[in-house]
Amino acid sequence: MSVKPSVSAVRHIPVLRGELALLLAILINSFGVVLMLYSGSGISAISSVPYAFSKVFPNISLGTFTYLFQGLLVLSLMILRKKFVPSYLFSFAAGFCFSELLDVHELWIGVLPNALSWRILYFICSYLLIAFGIALSNRCGLPIIPTDLFPRELAAITKLPYSRIKIIFDVTCLAVTAGMTLIFLGFLDGLGIGTILAAFTTGKAVGLIGTWLDRHVRFVSFMHDL
């Protein structure tokens, strides 16, 4: 039989504000997505669909297509829950900030060196940043960006493990991206070995990092009392 930690033990775990955690997650994930794309290993699965649209319709930026895609995810969750969920609108607002930061990072990322050794390092860093950012946002106690919210909420709705839902979501995004770029561009774009590797392993990495966070920090926000 498992033993719950005592109240005194819980109180000794450092406390982090959820608002700060969400802000940090948005900054980390937006940079991680652009860094992974810059590494040449492919874009992250969560941004692959908006990326495909931005290539097929180049007059509209990656950031704009990202929050349009996020709006569709939020709408899908409300349909699945068969009710209006106000917190999902706050999630869309967080997603809008994330989308705008994608465009900001794309403006300056080109100043980084792009030798092969650097690009390998960029992929490793971006993979870890994205996994850490998702794990952080899942625990902040606040509405999170829709691309992170969708697999978490779908796991709750379907009662399936988060890691499995995350992998299915990522692989589906990659399949859509592959189909779009092949049909409209005539070749695969944005998908690389890094994209595929991340799609099949990020869910597990998020789970491992999340378990580590749970042991070392707890989060509070204006939506949850201390």
pLDDT digits (tens, 9 = 90+) for 22-78: 999 999 999 999 999 899 988 888 889 999 999 999 999 988 999 899 999 999 999
Dihedral (Cα; 97, 99, 104, 105), 10-degree rounding: 110
The answer for residues whose C-beta is within 8 angstroms of residue 188's C-beta and 6 or more apart is: 178, 181, 182
Global pTM reads: 0.79
CA atoms within 13 A on the CB side of 185: 18
3-state secondary structure the chain: CCCCCCHHHHHCCCEEEHHHHHHHHHHHHHHHHHHHHHCCCCCCHHHHHHHHHHHHCCCCCHHHHHHHHHHHHHHHHHHHHCCCCHHHHHHHHHHHHHHHHHHHHHHHHHHCCCCHHHHHHHHHHHHHHHHHHHHHHHCCCCCCCHHHHHHHHHHHHHCCCHHHHHHHHHHHHHHHHHHHHHHHHCCCCCCCHHHHHHHHHHHHHHHHHHHHHHHHCEEEECCECC
pLDDT digits (tens, 9 = 90+) for 64-123: 999 899 999 999 999 999 998 888 888 888 888 998 899 999 999 999 999 999 999 999
Structure tokens, 99? 């989308």
Measured between its terminal Cα atoms, the distance across the chain in Å is 28
Closest residue by Cα to residue 37 from 135, 97, 96, 103: 103
Which amino acid does the sequence have at 151?
P
Pairing of the two strands 218-220 and 15-17: parallel
Structure tokens, 194? 């890094």
pLDDT at res. 85: 87
pLDDT band at 3 (very low <50, low <70, confident <90, very high): very low
Q: How far apart are CA 68 and CA 57, in angstroms?
A: 13
